[in-house]
Amino acid sequence: MSVIEKFRTMEYGPAPEDPKESMAWLERHGRRFGYFIGGTWKAPAEGKYFETSDPSTGEKLADVAQGSTADVVAAVKAARGALANWQKLTGHQRARYLYAMARQVQKHARRLAVLETLDNGKPIRESRDIDIPLVARHFYYHAGWAQILNQEFPGYAACGVIGQIIPWNFPLLMLAWKIAPALATGNTVVLKPAEYTPLTALAFAEICEEIGLPRGVVNIVTGDGATGEALVKHPGVDKIAFTGSTEVGRAIRRATANSRKRVSLELGGKSPYIVFEDADLDGAVEGLVDGIWFNQGQVCCAGSRLLMQESIAEKLTKKLQARMSTLRVGAPLDKAIDIGAIVARVQLERIERLVKQGVAEGATCWQPEVVLPSRGLYYKPTLLSNVHPASIVAQQEIFGPVLAAMTFRTPKEAVDLANNTVYGLAASVWSESVNVSLQVAAQLKAGVVWVNSTNLFDASCGFGGYRESGYGREGGREGLLEYLEPEWFRKAPALRAKPAGKNGKTEIANPTIDRTVKLYIGGKQVRPDSGYSIEVRGLKKELLGESPLGNRKDIRNAVEAARKAEAWGKTTTHNRAQVLYYVAENLSQRSKEIAERLSAAVGKKQAGEEVRASIERLFSYAGWADKFEGAVHNPPMRSIAIAMNEAVGTAGVICPTDMPLLGFFSLVLPLLCAGNTVVAVPSETYPLIAADLYQVFETSDLPGGAVNLVTGRASELLKVLAEHDDLDAIWCYGDAELCATAKALSVGNLKQVWTNERRALDFFDAQQGEGRWWLEHANQVKNIWVPYGE
Ligand code: NAI
């Protein structure tokens, strides 16, 4: 027998990892776990437990407490109680605890990896070589941030008590992604692990004990969705950080709308994996093994849609099938296994159901001839070809080892297909041409793009979605901002309805000529669809003019115009700066007449100050336009990750009432500066400002549609804006009711929401009214990973 023949006929022998250490750990706990609250282990208030089992065998591993509302209340109380002392520590002291966590994770790495594999069903190779090392890296990285936090984030404070809810696909890693940045920034935490995989979180609680973490800083409450819901609804929680399904993400948004809780969501995906004809096809196939078969495809950013250039589709499919035939499915503790068990029966059934539906919709299903183990929850690696882009398997997250393949002809078609999804978490682009890959990467609507690679993660690089994949980032500098707030924002007083003109002496100028203003849509002055106008009165109730009463149709037209003007976001930052300077110049030329008119509504002093401060604000954002730049990360692998700031898209803005000019510019300018297009509802009490604004815009070079003005009743127009599915963001300045409406009604397409949280912000104060914090909300970060090296 030749060596080559021998090589080909060689079989893998079993190479099982010994689970005895992990089993001994379970035994030490009597295979029954309470919660970790206030630094001690507590039995559940209602005495209820549920089973967690090994999905590869069905064998029970332990009983775990089912958290009730009372348990959640106790945990939040402990976290609240620990907050002040945790915040009194120096950054260095907090850094020491995070460092100790990293060290303990490393010391117990093998036991944690085995425990993770037992509870989740993922191959030991993955938990040992990917999950756990990344967990340690996350704690090390954030130990560093804790140490330098005060230097890097002056004027910022921790949010407070954080409720964190995590899924089952990367149990300990998701815990690390959540806990490390929260603690580094001085928050305390109540974390609820997923019901299928609670064990490593409990093992982590033990690590907190071992390192002597102050009691109550980390609390772990196990349980199901009801426990999660109790945490979300608890009034003592300042922020919810969630990873999981888009459906639950929506429920969380709804449940928190009427509160000041901050929310960050990392949700589902249907990420494209695009292979161009000039790609290294063998590399692309190997990438797919990681892209869709890693963790049985139960990965939010899995490359689950394969988009192949037509000319290589056949060749690539053959190579792929050949590689799939060598994938080994089986006992996850076997070190030579590629695909382990599916986490739970409901998930397996969901995969089966979706694949059947895909086939019924015309897809061709191909699976290699692999023999699945006789017991446990397994699914074969699966390739669905000829998938129609509208098919359920091209649109819905399957969360299993199933790849849906389609073809394209041109790069434009590839981009269109890739973006044809409600999600926007990640994408892979394979091409040997740096032009093609980077050009396509720039056009993809996704928070992470991997060039000639896939599923690369590092603590230094922000991870998170666009669109219905959620918002907020985990990792990197931007990940910390999810757990921090500017002091001035936290301390701002409650917004009370105050009469316009409060900020100045009420000295009214001569009555101005009666005017009827129009709406401003797509760069044109237009009459309102309703045909109605409302009277606008000044400080002494005198008639100042009439302003159109915009309605649903006007908003729809304005959104359409704003969407069409999206080229604004693709102009160079230098161009955007020039346009903003030009608007400032035009405002300056008309400053006297605008101030005069405005003074009838807000008094002479405030009117003059608003105009002056608005000109300055325009200059500021013109200055920022080409300076709010991204970063280049150096993760510890042979890649760079280019973190680009990108516009969120098209935003609806409800402007403050009591500062008609400055309030408008303070909200609209950061959005424009970042390249967003805007539909704004100007001050409801002085909507006549719209005429002054569009006259200034018309004489500047602002492209038509970049800013659209629809006057009318803020509460009615907000509703239409919030529910509009073609808007990407909503910014709403108003009272408690407006803020809650903005949050609640924008749940449909999970728009990004900014509100003043019912606070009165002082836009005259440049520290508050402009700058980085606003631009951070107006942008979202896209990380483009590019491999390099010998
Ligand atoms: P899920 O979203 O229900 O579970 C995630 C976490 O949320 C768990 O800890 C769960 O207990 C908790 N939860 C459930 N309902 C809640 C509620 N009303 N309030 C607060 N917390 C709640 O996800 P599930 O049912 O386990 O999986 C269903 C599908 O979701 C998967 O097939 C997959 O498509 C997607 N998914 C996406 C993940 C991601 O990483 N983006 C992770 C897990 C699931």
Total residues found in the chain within this entry: 790
- Alpha carbon of 245 to ligand 1 centroid (Å): 4
Residue 509 has pLDDT above 60, yes or no: no
DSSP per-residue string spanning 257-301? TTS--EEEEE-----EEEE-TTS-HHHHHHHHHHHHSGGGG--TT
pLDDT at 514: 57
Which of 427, 428, 411, 417 lies closest to 391 in space, CA to CA? 417
Q: Does the pLDDT of residue 499 top 70, yes or no?
A: no
**Residue 440's pLDDT is what?**
98
Average pLDDT of the chain, as a whole number: 96
Q: What is the pLDDT of residues 436-456, one digit of tens each?
A: 999 999 999 999 999 999 999
Tokens read off for 104: 């303990």
> What's the rounded mean pLDDT across residues 93-105?
98
Share of the chain above pLDDT 70, in %: 97
For residue range 163-219, what is the model confidence (pLDDT) as tens digits?
999 999 999 999 999 999 999 999 999 999 999 999 999 999 999 999 999 999 999
Determine the Cα–Cα distance for residues 389 and 386; give it in Å rounded to an integer.
9
Residue-wise pLDDT for 578-597, tens only, equals 999 999 999 999 999 999 99
pTM, entire model: 0.95
**Atom number in ligand 1 closest to CA 224:** 11
Lowest mean pLDDT across 8-17, 195-204, 552-561, 681-690: 8-17
8 compared with 368, residue with greater pLDDT: 368
DSSP-derived secondary structure for 637-650: SSEEEEEEEEE--E
300 is known as an active-site residue: yes
Find the catalytic residue in 17, 126, 266, 485.
266
C-alpha to C-alpha distances, 50 to 27, 170, 194, 218, 647, nearest whole angstrom: 17, 20, 12, 22, 45
Pocket of ligand 1 (CB under 6 A): 165-169, 192, 194-195, 224-225, 228-229, 232, 243-245, 248, 251-252, 267-268, 300, 347, 350, 397, 399
pLDDT attached to residue 790: 58
Q: How far, in Å, is the centroid of ligand 1 from the Cα of 249?
A: 8
Q: Which pair of structure tokens corresponds to residue 587?
A: 């405002």
CA atoms within 13 A on the CB side of 342: 23
Strand-pair partners of 219: 190
pLDDT tens column, 154-165: 999 999 999 999
118 in Cβ contact with 199 (< 8 Å): yes
| Residue to probe by mutation, ligand 1, list 173, 229, 248, 348, most atoms within 8 Å of CB | 248
Give the span between the Cα atoms of 426 and 473, in whole angstroms: 13
Q: What is the Cα gyration radius of the chain? A: 28
Local confidence band at 683 (pLDDT 50, 70, 90 cut-offs): very high
Mutate to test the pocket of ligand 1, among 68, 224, 245 (most ligand atoms within 8 A of CB): 245
Q: What is the pLDDT of residues 203-259, one digit of tens each?
A: 999 999 999 999 999 999 999 999 999 999 999 999 999 999 999 999 999 999 999
> 60 C-alpha vs ligand 1 centroid, how far in Å?
22
Write the residue with the smallest CA distance to atom 32 of ligand 1.
399
Question: What would the two tokens of residue 720 be?
Answer: 């239409």
| Residues 731 and 671: beta-carbon distance below 8 Å | yes
Q: What is the pLDDT of residues 618-671, one digit of tens each?
A: 999 999 999 999 999 999 988 999 999 999 999 999 999 999 999 999 999 999
Active site residue: 208, 300, 461, 739, which one? 300
Cα-based angle 122, 128, 134 (whole degrees, multiple of 5): 100
